[in-house]
């Protein structure tokens, strides 16, 4: 089985379509989505429909829950707040309902899925360092936990003296418990504006980090034309 693990689409249809096209060339059997389908970008409805059409197993992100009215946006920055309100007004009742109805954590085969972290996933904590990763690896009941949320692709592993090591590798064989951040399809923040996702091959127990160029200019133009904050368009070309 080959899984494509995608996350943080953020209503960026051009990016999502480019990733799906790339996956079509790589023998993907099934899609897994780590949430934040919506928020920031100009095509929330189309992106929700794409995820549904992919028949992807998925877990919700903080922007999905915020748009659905399940997460308080008091502490969101002004740009994120504006995007949440705009997105809510541009989704149907059925699409809003879709965003509400998934568990924070799912286990599929030897894979755990969560948007943010295994400890209190509803608090939307970030796993950014070895200490936080080590705590979460202790909670991991199977081989791999795939996460998103930070928009930065990286991997933490158990074997380094029971601590987690942050490193970026484009390919790796998974032999010990690992937490893998797959990066972001629609709004990368590691300085590379290309979409990021991960392929996991259950037969070889190996992963690969994938990068895909997409039509950034069209995505930016749609954001500006929609009346969303212009900074949400500008950051796409920076990968920040």
Q: What digits encode the pLDDT tens for the residues 174-214?
A: 989 999 999 999 999 999 999 999 999 999 999 999 999 99
* Dihedral pair phi/psi, residue 234, rounded to 5°: -60, -40
Residue pLDDT tens, the chain, 240 long:
999 999 999 999 999 999 999 999 999 999 999 999 999 999 999 999 999 999 999 999 999 999 999 999 998 999 999 999 999 999 999 999 999 989 999 999 899 999 999 999 999 999 998 889 989 999 999 999 999 999 999 999 887 544 445 556 667 889 899 999 999 999 999 999 999 999 999 999 999 999 999 999 999 999 999 999 999 999 999 998
The DSSP code sequence of 193-217 is -SEEEEEEETTTTEEEEEEE---HH
- The CA distance from 122 to 155, in Å, is 22
187 burial via Cβ count (<10 Å: 0-12, 13-18, 19+): buried
**Residue closest to 144 by CA, chosen among 200, 103, 102, 92:** 200
Using CA atoms, how far apart are residues 66 and 85, in angstroms rounded to an integer? 9
Q: Tell me, what's the pLDDT at 161?
A: 41
Strands 195-201 and 2-6: antiparallel
Q: Where do the domains of the chain lie, and which CATH numbers do they carry?
A: 2-237 (3.60.21.10)
Q: What is the pLDDT of residue 171?
A: 74
* C-beta of residue 231 within 8 angstroms of C-beta of residue 85: no
């Amino acid at each position: 089985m080959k899984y494509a693990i995608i996350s943080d689409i953020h209503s960026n249809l051009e990016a999502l379509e480019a990733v799906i096209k790339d996956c079509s060339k790589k023998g993907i059997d099934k899609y897994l989505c780590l949430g934040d389908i919506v928020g920031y970008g100009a095509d929330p409805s189309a992106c929700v429909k794409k995820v549904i059409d992919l028949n992807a197993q998925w877990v919700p992100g903080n922007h999905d829950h915020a748009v659905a009215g399940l997460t308080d946006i008091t502490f969101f920055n002004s740009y994120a707040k504006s995007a949440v309100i705009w997105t809510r007004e541009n989704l149907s009742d059925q699409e809003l309902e879709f965003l509400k109805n998934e568990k924070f954590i799912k286990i599929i085969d030897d894979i755990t899925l969560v948007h943010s972290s295994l400890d209190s996933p509803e608090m939307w904590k970030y796993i950014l360092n070895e200490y936080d990763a080590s705590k979460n690896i202790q909670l991991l009941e199977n081989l791999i936990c795939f996460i998103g949320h930070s928009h930065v692709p990286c991997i933490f592993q158990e074997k380094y003296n029971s601590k987690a090591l942050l490193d970026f590798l484009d390919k790796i064989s998974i032999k010990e418990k690992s937490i893998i951040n797959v990066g972001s399809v629609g709004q990368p923040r590691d300085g590379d504006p290309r979409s990021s996702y991960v392929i996991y091959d259950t037969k070889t127990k190996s992963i690969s980090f994938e990068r895909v160029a997409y039509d950034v200019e069209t995505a930016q133009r749609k954001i500006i034309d929609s009346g969303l904050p212009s900074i949400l368009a500008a950051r796409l070309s920076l990968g920040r």
